Amino acid sequence: MLAAFSCVILFAGFFAPYDFAAQARDTPFAPPTTLHFVDAGGSLHIRPFVYGPRDSASASPNAEAASEQSYPLHWFVRSTSYKIAGLIPSRTHLFGVEKPARIFLMGSDAYGRDQFSRFLYGGQISLLAGLIAAILSVAIGILVGGIAGYYGGWLDGILMRGSELFLALPWLYLLFAVRAALPLHISQWQVFLLLISVMGLIGWARPARLIRGVVLSAKERNFVLAACGFGASDAYLLRRHVLPQTYAVLLTQITLLVPQYVLAEVTLTFLGLGVGEPMPSWGALLTSLQQYSVLSSYWWMFLPALLLIPLFVIFYAAADALQELHKSVPL
């Protein structure tokens, strides 16, 4: 399931009917488009269709759409160009409707941009952020935790007190400070990468402590002691015997950390520290909910938030499964 989801996100350009920045200025805050199967005459259509835009001169906002022209949904349409996974240019989209009709599966935002497309594209940024930050954290965690656990003694003391210091760090304020110190002219992407690296860099403490624990117990195992007795070097021992025992823990950690960092990205963007307009990210999709008018009038603006919940559940389920697996693997 996670793989399927990641696939959709990775090929967002294909699944999204529109470009994330395309504005339909006639239809700000359009509610989700209804897909119809039964037309006004009562006959059933296999191919779902949508109704076209209302004639703005004649129709009141509440008028029924029934009398208007219908536009069937087409599969594999060619429209705006995009790049598959950021590399291969393509113009084919999974579905679309002919202009002037538009299909907004999750409604449109304040600029008339398609929320569904933005959600998919936003996923690329948010998941990438989560993944990069998680890998960074775990990498530093292995290094610090491995050294602390393996060598022990005063080195362990210093490193673990250091990690406690990092745990106590008010990271949100730190990020604000970092953002304020950056010059204006660096691009949004660079700012964003920098912020997630900072996030990853300060998040190493927890995995480091876990890994230290595993290493601590691993190095006392008989086969490790035996290898040590045969005169194996520290580096060899760590690489060959100690660290492989931590892999299951690491994998579990990464699956736990990714959703955490995705949430952190959402928080940061919500507070205005994320990628700037018009780039979408899951946090950016939620920022408009800060406004009372949006909160009280446009329920479909909540959809991205609701979609995030099952995603996180899947992530945690995956982490659980990994943990089970790790327990069942005989050491």
Partner 1 sequence: MGKVRLWRACLVFIAIFCACSAARAWPQQSSEDRMIAGGATGHAGGRLVVALRSEPKTLNPALALDEPSRDVIRCLTADLIHINRGSLKTEPSLAKSWSVSRDGRQYTLQLRRGVRFSDGQAFNADDVIFSFQVYLDEKVDSSQRDLLVVGGKPITVVKVDDYTVRFELAQPYAAAERLFDSIAILPRHLLQNTYQAGSFSQAWTLSVPPNQFAGLGPFRLKEYVAGQRVVLERNPYYWKANRAGNQLPYLSEVVFLFVSSEDAQVIRFQSGDTDVLSRFSAENFAVLQKQQSQKGYHLDDLGAGLEYNFLFFNLNDPGPNVPPEITKKQAWFQDLRFRQAVSAAIDREGIVRLVYSGRATPIWDQVTPGNKLWLDENIAHPPRSLDHAKELLKSAGFSWKSNGSLVDPHGDHVEFSILTSSSNAQRTKIATIIQDDLSQLGMTVQVIPLEFRAMVDRLLNTHDYEAAVMGLVSGDADPTSEMNVWLSSGETHLWHPRQEKPATPWESEMDRLMQQQLVTLDYSKRKKLYDRVQEIVADELPVICLVSPNILMGAANRVGNFRPAILVPYALWNIEELYVQ
Report, in Å, the least distance between residue 292 CB and partner 1: 4
The verdict on 216 binding partner 1 (CB under 8 A) reads no
Residue in the structure block whose two tokens are 């202009």: 99
Binding mask 1-30 for partner 1 (x = CB under 8 A): --------------------x-x-xx-x--
Contact 102, 19 (CB under 8 A): no
Nearer to partner 1, 27 or 163 (CB): 27
Residues 181-200 that bind partner 1 (CB under 8 A): 184-185, 187-188
- The SS3 assignment for 90 reads strand
Nearer to partner 1, 158 or 172 (CB): 172
Residue 168: which region, alpha, beta or left (left: phi > 0; alpha: psi -120 to 50)? Answer: alpha
Report, in Å, the least distance between residue 270 CB and partner 1: 13
Cis before residue 100, ω within 30 degrees of 0? yes
Residues 264-303 that bind partner 1 (CB under 8 A): 272, 276-278, 291-294, 296-297
At position 7, the amino acid (one-letter code) is C
Q: In terms of C-beta density within 10 A (0-12 exposed, 13-18 middle, 19 or more buried), how is residue 259 classed?
A: buried
The C-alpha atoms of residue 298 and residue 294 are separated, in whole angstroms, by 5
Closest to 317 in 3D by CA, of 329, 306, 325, 328? 325
Report, in Å, the least distance between residue 20 CB and partner 1: 11
Side-chain half-sphere exposure of 10, counting CA atoms within 13 A: 9
Report, in Å, the least distance between residue 306 CB and partner 1: 22
**Site size toward partner 1, by CB under 8 A:** 22
Binding mask 230-269 for partner 1 (x = CB under 8 A): ----------------------------------------
Residues that bind partner 1 (CB under 8 A): 21, 23, 25-26, 28, 110-112, 184-185, 187-188, 272, 276-278, 291-294, 296-297
